[in-house]
Amino acid sequence: MKATKIFGIVLAGGEGKRLMPLTEDRAKPAVPFGGHYRLIDFALSNLINSGLTQLVVLTQYKSHSLDRHVSQTWHVSGGLFNSYIASVPAQQRLGKRWFSGSADAILQSLNLIHDEKPDYVVVVGADHVYRMDFSQMLDAHIASGAMATVAAIRQPIQLADQFGVIAVDAASPDRISEFTEKPTDAVGLADAPHEVFASMGNYIFNADALIDAVRRDGDRPDSSHDMGGDIIPDFVSRGEAGVYDLKRNEVPGSTDRDRYYWRDVGTIDSFFEAHQDLISALPVFNLYNQGWPIFSQQLNSPPAKFVRDGAGALGTTIDSIVSLGCVISGAHVERSVLGPWTAVDSGARVVDSIVFDRVQIHSGARVNRAILDKDVVVEVGASIGMDRGRDLARGFSVTDSGITVVGKGVHVQP
């Protein structure tokens, strides 16, 4: 009996403008998250944990660090079983042009599907934080008879204008009757009028149907060539699109607190809030679930160290994540995430902040509600996030909610 063959595509070519300056020198899926992870690690971990072993990552925008991370971290030996995770850049196979959208990325990469000849194709984004077993979604997709299935998470109806919203057929609640981007007049679900189905940006397709859909889309001059904006509505118009409620998905090791967690970290504010979800004693998203691990590169680094400073003052670290290689010396760190090889010196205070790798925060410095990219140096007595006007005058980015972002390699003077 022929085994069902599954092929996975991770869409990782997005520019990530709303995460600037964190994406000034790297692709959005390569942005560090939660200490030593990268955003793409969550999508790849979910696919690998789900049993998918033939995966490609379609890249385009400033992809060097992303390509390097995939090649160094996600090396899967092919052996007899032809298992691999391959980073595939835009190749201009259909002319001298780059990807013009996520659907066009697949259209220009159809050779990958033709080579493997899968029965089904799983297509996911590379910049969401969540856990999901795609094998359960695949079983539901096959049983439904749909040509395309969209993973959906229930969200409060007042947030409908932030998502692609799915309306279901009353007679067939697993079929999509309408797919609307960011509606202002959304109607609640029949079993929960205060909720809507929001698309998670994860899809499963019958392979032949996906090939046909992206080819037809490529011939439409008025299309934006987007998976959510064009391809899924095309399937909906033909009655061939199904919905998969994340609440049907049972991930090993999940808790009542984090079982159905999903967050799009496409803005600085949502990126910051997602980190806050990690650090409580009972986290909203639990990185410590050994039943469904999130994999990443394990640096050859010593453990984190917490020491008294030269005067014998004892530092404190509260409700925080501290990565390998960090040294906290007589400083105070609270509700923060520190990336690998960060040093925080005597008398410094880091509160409500996200610090990437190899950052130096010297004596007496103050960092409050800030994101510091890699290799930032905060000089003795300097402050960040204490005075909005001063931060803006120094060229730092500050969100409306007051989060200051300092770009890669900046030296912050007192």
Q: Which residues are annotated as a binding site for alpha-D-glucose 1-phosphate?
A: 164, 181-182, 199
Rounded Cα distance, 409 and 345, in Å: 18
Report DSSP letters for 86-151, one per residue. EEEE---TTSS----SHHHHHHTTHHHHHHH--SEEEEEESSEEE---HHHHHHHHHHHT-SEEEE
Q: If you compute the radius of gyration of the chain from its CA atoms, what whole number of angstroms results?
A: 22
| Tokens representing residue 146 in the block | 């749909």
381 backbone φψ class: left, alpha, beta (φ>0; ψ -120 to 50): left
| Tokens representing residue 201 in the block | 């940006």
**195-206/120-125 β-pairing:** antiparallel
Rounded Cα distance, 293 and 8, in Å: 19
Residue pair 362/327 in contact by the 8 Å Cβ criterion? no
